[in-house]
Amino acid sequence: SLLFHGPRGVGKQRLALWLAQLLLCENSPRPCGKCRNCEYAVNLTHPDLHWYFPRPRLKDADPDLADVRDDYQEAIADRVSNGGLYASPPGNEGIYVATVRAIVQEASISPAIARRKVFIIGDAERMVSQEGSDQAANAFLKMLEEPSEKTTIILTSSEPGALLPTIRSRAVAVRIPSLSDSAVRAFLA
């Protein structure tokens, strides 16, 4: 389990998606971009790549896990149609207990086509504690503490101090700094 943290907009989730492609690629040591797993990962349609991020609360107080998955599939499709660009989530969006349950359930299933599964939890500090959600929170912590050997979990956060200490202690923290103007210019040149 990893925790990518750094300034907002620096590309933590993009880096996490690239790392997911690397981990799912059939032709390591870097993503080939040509194999089936790379194509699916680039298009965010890989059945073993799971990306979660803050979303509006679903209308149903206790939504089915299928409703949660459908909501995320639509949200990811919107991000893909916008060229991968998206605004920071508004303050009323979060990662709610139904989403945590969906994550834990997906993690319990074997990989579909790759050797492993990758979970990306963007803006992880927006996981919302809810009364009666202890079971989901404990299951998520257990998953972080003892992930399956075929599972990689990548959390991203612009405010790592806002994460529960129990979550921070179960992930290896990696700081993602802003690039200097000269580095960006050199890359563009």
CB within 8 Å of 88: residues ≥ 6 apart:
8, 9, 123
Look at residue 38 in the predicted model and tell me its pLDDT: 95
- pLDDT bracket for residue 130 (50, 70, 90): low
Q: pLDDT band for position 147 (50/70/90)?
A: confident
Q: What percent of the chain has pLDDT over 70?
A: 96
Residue 79 has a pLDDT of 92
Q: Please state the rounded mean pLDDT for residues 103-128.
A: 92
pLDDT of 21-35, one tens digit each?
Answer: 999 999 877 899 999
Q: What is the pLDDT of residues 32-52, one digit of tens each?
A: 999 999 999 999 999 999 999
Q: Is the pLDDT of residue 134 over 70?
A: no
CB 49 within 8 A of CB 82: no
Average of per-residue pLDDT values in the chain: 90
The model carries a pTM of 0.90
Q: For 54-112, how does the pLDDT look when each residue is reduced to its tens digit (9 = 90+)?
A: 999 888 877 888 999 999 999 999 999 988 878 888 888 988 888 998 999 999 999 99
Mean pLDDT highest for which of 2-11, 85-94, 140-149? 2-11
Report which of residues 175 and 82 the model is more confident about.
175
Please give the C-alpha separations between residue 148 and each of 140, 142, 160, in angstroms, as whole numbers.
13, 10, 24
Give me the percent of the chain exceeding a pLDDT of 90: 60
What 102-106 contacts at long range (C-beta under 8 Å, 24+ apart), as own/partner pairs, is 102/52, 102/65, 102/68, 102/69, 102/72, 103/50, 103/52, 103/140, 103/143, 104/136, 104/139, 104/140, 104/143, 105/65, 106/50
